[in-house]
Structure 1
């Protein structure tokens, strides 16, 4: 396999650790400030908020459909997970990857990565078939969008370093008429963008006024067409945390869902909005020929009780280094540890770090949670006009930055292990932390531009057939678990357990409901739920990075929230329902990415790269289809289970465009879904 091996890097000394210091801690409170007159107005057919994979996929399909697409992003890179968040290792399942059964844009992304490097895996990592440099993810996707605009005769308006500050709606609140955004660039004489970490810039980014760091441009996004009886433009929330969902104040869930027959593995009998999955600032480190000098960060001892290899079978530095190695100039000798085969690191190798008991930050209480609940948004003034500040706790971002920088020091100099005890961790000084604007992460401080987010606000869809309280995709819709063990019999009430077994009866459900069969005698269906309004696909394991029990997360002796990993495990290939993308209250808002209507447990599978692309492709196609047919998306599903001719037409269009809505040979009559691994 031929690969390009030259790479220019600017490294900066460990004094950059001082960028993140306690002096920047400040109470987080939104202050409503009146906007100045917008500097410019921009017309769009589709406004995509968030430039991650789901946002790019939305824009990609919108452009191919000939639409005028405006794409905003808080950073200056498109790609989200594979670029600005640094997680440039594609999470894929073996069967789907072997059969290359993905959306057309995702297949094009994989092809262009392969073309660029001469192979999919220039990092020779072992977690994925494709590990590469984050900045190249941005470059590849940027070119894909330009090519899509040219091919489809659409118009792309790209707005980096831009956040949405406010929304203007009709008097009944059903239509968003305009979105007010703030775009920033360096103020005169100020340091370049990406010099300071996010925690030091995010609050400034949401203020209308210019500052010592930023010069601001106020943009008013509006529809291109005049008002009609149906929406004349669409806003797609493809942000990482469900930001527009929070700002628009539509119904949503956050954190753990209450235990029920639909979510039987929930760790709580009631909803807990503060326990979301951990988030991570990734970074890149390079193997060197000689030992490097490493200074202990001033905050290291605060976080040192947290760091660990986690499991004995993972307690190998070379294994952890090569896990998400994103660049490897020469292949080292093969070695095996814990049953895993990988090539030995060699000088010049670059690894991206994303480790649960390393740089994951996992708050789980009301004192430290990252994503503010609706109550917290209200109390901080973020739901009043002009008060929106992004909906995140700045202090949690700052501490996540610190724990990540501390984790690098632990890798190269640490000798403790919080889970495995003494004598396991050894120093590995022949490595350096890569930082600088030309480094893999593209930041002076070396951390990713934005943290890798695993979970955000998740909408509650509109009440529909079989979902009287609002549409949701639940644990039992996708999990391979048979729920026949003693835990569920003892934990769930008899009536709840009976409802669970009934819901899993598959083709025999009717017989169970009518009393012809005892639910305990019925074999559990071996497939995921098939949705009549499916418009996309995904497949991944239900994968948890649980919140911690006590505050702060890094406290000595702290443990993961009890029971959070119970729902983890294998999932069947699953579908994305259109109803999961349509929020309540607002008719011209669609939701893509991780904020679709999934439960806490289901969301642990509905969050990886190919799913994000499929959801975005569905959103972009749906928006363009709705505009062309003068119909709102909710009208495509409001008569289910009756036949919806326009829904069928949309599904046909998606499949014709090679954006599949179902996996091959997966139907209610096919019991061989176990073959999909």
Structure 2
């Protein structure tokens, strides 16, 4: 940058300070210049604003869902300064801002409470708060509760961790990341620029409008009629020379930092191969991503309520249905499925194939139903999460032009689908699955909305949609994954790959490779049955990873994309054969290599964005997994700072013994964050459990 350009930059900064009375920030600018945070080679996008505040951290966690909250929790207990940003104003993600406040857990893992320490504390705090484990008496889970309480209890837990560990929590609600700045060799994130928004008018509610109407504004630098903006630059707390003086943890729901940093990742369906032999496509399909959902809460009333038909209802009515199984065609069965509050325990009554606690006035149900409010686009015309190609085409990868990477029209349709589903439940009489004249209206209910409602929004929908799948990194090449590390179907599935479907549908060379891979994986550990690997007809346990840093258990569960666009098109069907891999999975591990992205050395990837295939991601997406991955990420950042190492150095010499890796895993275990399952549980499939 020449002298004239330098002068112009400084003049722009001074003009901004004078105009906005930010004289206090003047010192920050010259401090930043001296430290190299704002260099004389810096250029600013035309639309950018000068950051009004510099915030320093040891660990910056982007996204305060369960994974991000878990990372912050462990960082605080380790005594670190943790900056935690979140697009909404609630911590907790699935259990709060996304409205999915019903723990999805594997039965064995739950029976042993073999979860990370922070997750167990959260579960126990919920039980103590309500004086019972399942305040909603739901039947999908052993713990269903109000999303608003999920935020309150988790935030208190973070505050307590701050006090116990002598850490510092810097909480930034309603904040989005706009830009990341790399160092000279593009290996480290040097700083992050974010935008925090608040109501332009103190009398306005942030959640008067649904997300589709506000998200683009939230990512815009300029103040608007809706929002007042505060521009923040996050930087390392320590400026000492070291391997990395801070770490950024990617814990967003869709992998925003992954896209912004432009590191290798994948979206949607993987090509059919020996590692994912149930994939329905020979080519990669980035548009067929698992469906997303806007949950809402509804209350049983003593009398019939006036129900207003949405103007868009007719467009979505052909989608709504109970299920393919007419035994589930009962309103009370759907209502109690995710009932999140019941003031009294009703008597057991037979409803369809199940016995449920009879609902009564005052009961509140959260709705998250496949053929109800799951919105499942699957083409390049309507996909929610933009691919890298689409991001380049719409300019979001250009400096200062990031807008969140989501298609707002699809968000809007998801919102409309959900509000229409409420009307269908209380007033509809059609059924796309079972035909008409089966569904009966249930008008004695009301949609709960308002600031004090369970979802905390004026419109009644969750603050952010429940996202089942986002951008998944491709890990670094490894000794057993030369093209980049990933967890795959064959690593966790209990499928019998000897059956006729695989024998007849897979090309012979691929089929043989499936079995050679299974034989190799099975031979790495002695099975309880002592059978030779060539006699094993399926996996007897999940892959055992030498770098495991967490555990998870859940079935491979799909909410597949629809075949045609738009997703709500009458007669539309799920994408063919996406459910082939659907079914049980072994208790599994979370390998460290799945959390280490390519290119950038101080970025740690957590939550649903770790390196998995589309099929494996269907099991690696639930509440307990998110916390386990987040706990590992927060501990890893703290450990790396203390040891002055970079995370990849813990695994770059595998399969040889890595002393640093063993020390790190021992730290996780001693902190109450398990990295393995008990052997009997790992081999429970052979025992018929």
TM-score range, shorter chain: over 0.9
- Tell me whether 1:200 sits opposite 2:213 in the alignment: yes
Residue of structure 1 equivalent to 2:56: 43
CA distance in 2 between counterparts of 1:675 and 1:52 reads 36
Task: List gaps (5 residues or longer) in structure 1.
Answer: 1-30, 512-516
Corresponding residue number in structure 1 for 2:619 = 605
Matches within 5 A, 1:138-153: 138-153=151-166
- Verify the 8 A CA contact 2:552 2:625 in the aligned structure 1: yes
Q: Which moved more, 1:76-85 or 1:489-498?
A: 489-498
Cα pair distance change 1:611/1:676, threshold 3 Å: farther
TM-score (norm 2): 0.91
Q: Matched residues in 2 for 1:272 and 1:373: separation?
A: 10
Following superposition, the deviation at residue 320 of structure 1 comes to: 0.1
SS at match of 1:505: helix
The 5 A counterparts of 1:78-157 are 78-157=91-170
Deviation at 1:675, TM superposition (A): 5.0
Please list the CA deviations of residues 352-389 of structure 1 after superposition, one character each: whole Å capped at 9, or x if unmatched.
00000000000000000000000000000000100100
Equivalence for 2:333: 319
Matches within 5 A, 1:506-655: 509=523, 521-655=535-669
Contact 1:572 1:674 in 2 (8 A): no
Tell me, yes or no, if structure 1 residue 260 matches structure 2 residue 273.
yes
Structure number with greater CO (CA < 8 Å, separation at least 6) is 1
- The change in CA–CA distance for 1:202 and 1:566 in structure 2 (over 3 A counts) is same
Q: Is the 8 A contact 2:49 2:221 kept in 1?
A: yes
Partners of 1:145 and 1:521 lie apart in 2 by 50
Task: Select 1:337's aligned residue among 343, 351, 374.
Answer: 351
Q: Distance in 1 between matches of 2:547 and 2:524?
A: 22
Partner-residue secondary structure (3-state), 2:201: coil
Q: Is the 8 A contact 2:495 2:538 kept in 1?
A: no
Alignment check: 8 A CA contact 1:503 1:509 kept: no
**Distance in 1 separating the partners of 2:254 and 2:570:** 29
Corresponding residue for residue 29 of structure 2? none
CA distance in structure 2 between the aligned counterparts of 1:195 and 1:525, rounded to whole angstroms = 50
Tell me which residue corresponds to 1:303. Answer: 316
Q: Residues 572 and 676 of structure 1 are in contact (CA less than 8 Å); yes or no, is this contact kept in structure 2?
A: no
SS in 2 for 1:305: helix
Offset from partner CA, 1:420-469 (integer Å, 9 cap, x none): 11221010000000111111100000000000000000000000111000
Change (3 A) 1:585 1:476: same
Instruction: Decide whether aligned partners of structure 1 residues 109 and 519 sit closer, same or farther in structure 2, where only a CA change above 3 A counts.
Output: closer
- CA contact 2:386–2:405 (8 Å) conserved in 1: yes
Structure 1 residue 171 displacement after superposition: 2.2
Tell me the TM-score normalized by structure 1: 0.93
Instruction: After TM superposition, give the deviation of residue 336 of structure 1 in Å.
Output: 2.4
Match of 1:476 in 2: 490
| Other structure's SS at 2:327 match | helix
In structure 2, the residue matched to 1:164 is: 177
Task: Give the counterpart of 2:458 among 444, 460, 483.
Answer: 444
User: CA shift at 1:133, angstroms?
Assistant: 0.4
Does 1:53 find its partner at 2:63?
Answer: no
* 1:485 alignment partner in structure 2: 499
How many Å separate the matches in 1 of 2:680 and 2:658? 22
Structure 1 residues 171, 490: CA separation in 2 closer, same or farther (over 3 Å shift)? same
Paired with 2:294 and 2:388, the residues of 1 have a C-alpha distance of: 25
- Does the aligned pair in 1 maintain the 2:498–2:537 contact within 8 Å? no
Question: Does structure 1 conserve the Cα–Cα contact (< 8 Å) formed by 2:78 and 2:165?
Answer: yes
Q: Secondary structure at the match of 2:679?
A: coil
Aligned length: 640
Tell me which residue corresponds to 1:6.
none
Q: How does 1:186-197 map to 2 (within 5 A)?
A: 186-188=199-201, 191-197=204-210
What CA distance in whole angstroms lies between the structure 2 residues aligned with 1:404 and 1:449?
Answer: 13
Alpha-carbon distance, 1:486 to partner: 1.0
Q: Of residues 351, 376, 383 in structure 1, which corresponds to 2:365? A: 351
State the superposition RMSD in angstroms: 1.7
After superposition, what is the alpha-carbon deviation per residue over 1:582-627, rounded to whole angstroms, capped at 9, x for unaligned?
A: 0000000000000000000000000000000000000000000000
Alpha-carbon offset, residue 160 of structure 1: 0.1
- 2:148 touches 2:456 (CA, 8 Å); kept in 1? yes
What displacement does 1:93 show? 1.4
CA distance in 2, matches of 1:221, 1:563: 45
Deviates more, 1:349-358 or 1:494-503: 494-503
Looking at structure 1, the residues matched to 326 and 562 of structure 2 have their Cα atoms a distance apart, in angstroms, of 21
SS at match of 2:551: strand
Q: Specify the SS of the correspondent of 1:301.
A: helix
- Structure 2 gap segments, 5+ residues each: 1-43, 526-530
Counterpart CA distance in 1 for 2:227 and 2:203 is 8
Would the alpha carbon gap of residues 522 and 328 (structure 1) be closer, same or farther in structure 2, given more than 3 Å must change?
closer
Q: Is the CA contact 2:305–2:446 (under 8 Å) kept in the aligned structure 1?
A: yes
Equivalent residue for 2:528?
none
Task: Determine if contact 1:32/1:381 at 8 Å carries over to the other structure.
Answer: no
Give the Cα–Cα distance (whole angstroms) in 1 for the partners of residues 532 and 262 of structure 2. Answer: 43
Task: Name the structure 2 match of 1:8.
Answer: none
Q: CA deviation at 1:50?
A: 0.3
CA distance in 1, matches of 2:625, 2:168: 25
